[in-house]
Structure 1
Amino acid sequence: MDKSLLGNKVITQIGLLVNDIDQTSQKYADFFGVEKPAWFWTDTADIAQTEYRGERSEARAKLAFFDMGSLQLELIEPDHNPSTWRESLDQNGEGFHHIAFVVDGMKEKIALLEAKGMPLLQKGEYTGGRYAYIDSYSELKMLVELLENDK
């Protein structure tokens, strides 16, 4: 029996906030000895349906991904709109933002975590699925991202 609240103990992704995705992704590519990945914008607000702290947000971000075996490194350069990305970058500077887990039953997982004192901070859709950032700082000293991919 899996006792994990999420039903999954495998960390899928580590997210880092950056000010310049081109420069930082090149530095990681050089460090890892791999090709620099192309970055892309998150979906527009009409598709993403982003909510931050319970309010609709036009927030978007540039994303670049490094697939490192069983773990993915995500670089995030946020735009100026309200989001957990922008807030964290402004308050804490560049660096660690979240760890992510793939889940089934996003709504149920959010409700379960909220009942444990870890409220939903931001959520949105992406082509092929949805994400949610959980404010787990008081319990885990970091943000947790839930990813649910369409079947």
Structure 2
Amino acid sequence: HGEGIHHLQFQVEDVDWVAEILAKEGFPSMQSGHSGDTGAYSYVDIKPLHTIWEVVHEPGKKAGKVTRYPESEETSPAKVKVKNIIQVALAVHDVQMVAANYWNILGIGPWDIYEVKPPTLYDRTYHGKPGNFTYWLALTMAGQVQLELAQPISGDNVYSDFMAEHSEGLHHVAFTVDDINETTQMMNKEGFSTLMSGGFSDGGFAYYDTLGPLKVILEAFQVPETMPPPMTRYP
């Protein structure tokens, strides 16, 4: 796969107990260990979820030396400043099946499933040219972060491109912006081309080619004031 997003993490009180349960479900630990005074972790490849999950219990005291970048309290030179990551997304072939897997294996859900197509979806672009893509999305909250499953339906799109090269799995992280057009102009000026974009309801989105320096695709999302109703929900 090369460099990129490796895993997602959730915190538990007893790592060994959770790892044992997952192993009995057919998902043995790939790597595990302890850190600090009470810390522990275990990486588990849950293949039906198309990602590696880290089960972790944070130590009361950190072990080892901690470094920081930058060491001084200087201001970042970045033109676009990401204040918070609001979403982690996976590209999949079947959002309904994968949503069911997340619900049945880790209890994550319920999922709202949307059919993203005109007229809710408009002004579509794909690599700078007019686009004709449509897709399904499944959305749910996992704590403070939204999880998204994206299934391409028609037209050239970044999800199909990703799965053709890497198979199903972690595709991008998203951050919110006040003005999608202004953000896209700034990102393009900084050398990050727009892979795919569009208007969505009264908001909009854009995916940028940031894989080289950041090792992940970034999506800027202008949150619409009104979300269209979901096509269905699972469960």
Q: Do Structure 1 and Structure 2 share a fold, with TM-score over 0.5? A: yes
Distance 1:144 1:35, change over 3 A: closer
Aligned-residue CA RMSD in angstroms? Answer: 2.1
- Where 2:198 maps in the other structure, the secondary structure is strand
Distance 1:29 1:124, change over 3 A: same
Match of 2:177 among 93, 98, 103: 103
* Deviation for aligned residue 1:38: 3.7
Give me the TM-score of the superposition, normalised by structure 2: 0.59
What 5-or-longer segments of structure 1 have no aligned partner?
none
Give me the TM-score of the superposition, normalised by structure 1: 0.88
> Is the Cα–Cα contact under 8 Å of residues 85 and 175 in structure 2 kept in the other structure?
yes
How far apart are the structure 1 equivalents of 2:122 and 2:82? 25
Distance 1:12 1:46, change over 3 A: closer
Return the index of the structure with the highest Cα Rg: 2
1:67 and 2:141 aligned: yes
Q: How do 1:109-124 residues align onto structure 2 when only pairs under 5 Å count?
A: 109-124=183-198
What 5-or-longer segments of structure 2 have no aligned partner?
1-73, 226-235
1:12 and 2:80 aligned: no
1:55 and 2:98 aligned: no
The answer for the alignment partner of 1:76 in structure 2 is 150
Return the structure number with greater relative CO, CA threshold 8 A, min gap 6.
Answer: 1
- Where 1:147 maps in the other structure, the secondary structure is strand
Match of 2:115 among 41, 49, 68: 41
Between the aligned residues of both structures, percent identity stands at 25
Which is worse superposed, 23-32 or 40-49? 40-49
> Is the Cα–Cα contact under 8 Å of residues 102 and 109 in structure 2 kept in the other structure?
no
Structure 1 or 2: more helix by fraction:
1
Which is worse superposed, 3-12 or 134-143? 3-12
The answer for the alignment partner of 2:51 in structure 1 is none
